[in-house]
Amino acid sequence: FGEQALRGKKVVVSAGPTYEDIDPVRFIGNRSSGRMGFAVAEAAVEAGAQVTLVAGPVSLATPAGIAKRVDVRSAAQMHAAVSEAVQGADIYIGSAAVGDYRPNTVAAHKLKKHDGADLTLQLAENPDILASLSAKQLHPFLVGFAAETQNVETYARDKLQRKGLDMIAANQVGEGLGFETADNAITLYWADGSQELPRADKAALARQLIECIASRYKAVRG
């Protein structure tokens, strides 16, 4: 990044999973380790950006040069933290795997088994962080991620449009790629274009991703 493609830009990155509590000892989560998002945040710092990192429950050290890290647990907490962090920001990159649903109620005490009977959890839909940002008149350049196991382009383009995004980074999950892994492979889509970033370790991939985001950002926002 000799040219510091994001110099002076304010960038917010979300990373990791969210945990939706069921009772004091159980939760609904997912397999995101935060590695992709932390690599993206680090690459944005290298590109000269002032970076706020909103992290779900992960066990990763804060990359050097991050201006601010906010740790959250649930999707609701991530929503609140991101909404605050994006004020005055130029770019938001949502690499977090946000839980789509949360238990309707969180039990005050540990749930007990009842003689082999089924247990039914009622789930309520979480608000979509990206969609809530794009619904506002003034919002940062929005980059989403899409983790898919099939029909990657169709689902990614649908999310690009439905969530009102500027770009989406789609990754096929499986075969040593995506969640928890060292490597990833991404295809970036925007309204009238796409770019493939072939399999590489997440740090290398994040640098290429940030380069593409910076060049689209310049094309769209000047």
Residues 41-70 close enough to bind ligand PMT by CB under 6 A: none
Where would I find the H helices in the chain?
Answer: 35-46, 75-85, 129-134, 152-162, 202-221
CB 93 within 8 A of CB 143: yes
Of 2-10, 41-49, 61-69, 90-98, the window that binds ligand PMT (rule: CB under 6 A) is 90-98
**Comparison of 39 and 47: residue with beta carbon closer to ligand PMT:** 39
Report if residue 94 touches ligand PMT, rule: CB under 6 A: yes
Query: Would you tell me how many other CB atoms lie within 10 Å of the CB of residue 32?
Result: 24
Of 27-35, 63-71, 83-91, 210-218, the window that binds ligand PMT (rule: CB under 6 A) is 27-35
Exposure letters 64-83 (e unless 16+ CB within 10 A, then b): eebeebbebbbbbbbbebbe
Element (H, E) at 169: strand 167-172
**Comparison of 48 and 178: residue with beta carbon closer to ligand PMT:** 178
Residue in the block written with tokens 């989406």: 168
**Comparison of 124 and 220: residue with beta carbon closer to ligand PMT:** 124
Q: Of residues 50, 52, 74, 171, which one binds ligand PMT by CB under 6 A?
A: 171
CB of 177 to ligand PMT, least distance (A): 8
- Cα torsion 29, 159, 175, 46 to 10°: value is -90
Q: Of residues 11, 55, 91, 129, which one binds ligand PMT by CB under 6 A?
A: 129
Q: Of residues 145, 189, 190, 217, which one binds ligand PMT by CB under 6 A?
A: 145
144 Cβ contact partners less than 8 Å away, ≥ 6 residues apart: 94, 130, 159, 160, 163, 165, 167, 168, 169
Q: Of residues 28, 32, 102, 187, which one binds ligand PMT by CB under 6 A?
A: 32
Annotated active-site residue 171? The verdict is no
Report if residue 167 touches ligand PMT, rule: CB under 6 A: no
CB of 214 to ligand PMT, least distance (A): 18
- 206: closest CA among 69, 33, 46? 46
Report if residue 98 touches ligand PMT, rule: CB under 6 A: yes
Catalytic positions? 30
